[in-house]
Amino acid sequence: MLNFDIFKQKSPKQRFLLILGLIMFVFYVVLGLAFIFWEPIALRLSAIPLWGRIAIGILLIIYAFVRLLSLSRRN
């Protein structure tokens, strides 16, 4: 089940920062997947080879999970 205990007993500032952190996590994952799979980005960034786009996408996804881990450790 979903655990909503992370939202309890938090100040509005802490709750806002938690939600903003989750939104940024989703943003970085979507951006990483777009670099890997979305063709219009491939056409605009034609100077970057395929392996470079995949590497950038993987690094963005790893960075998103590092941010998520640091967000969970702040609690």
Chain-centre distance for alpha carbon 15: 18
Classify residue 50 as exposed, middle or buried by CB count within 10 Å of its CB (0-12, 13-18, 19+): exposed
What pLDDT score does 64 carry? 96
Q: Name the pTM for this structure.
A: 0.76
- Segments in the chain below pLDDT 70: 1-10, 42, 74-75
What are the sequence ranges of the domains in the chain? 24-73
What pLDDT score does 1 carry? 46
Eight-class DSSP state of 11: -
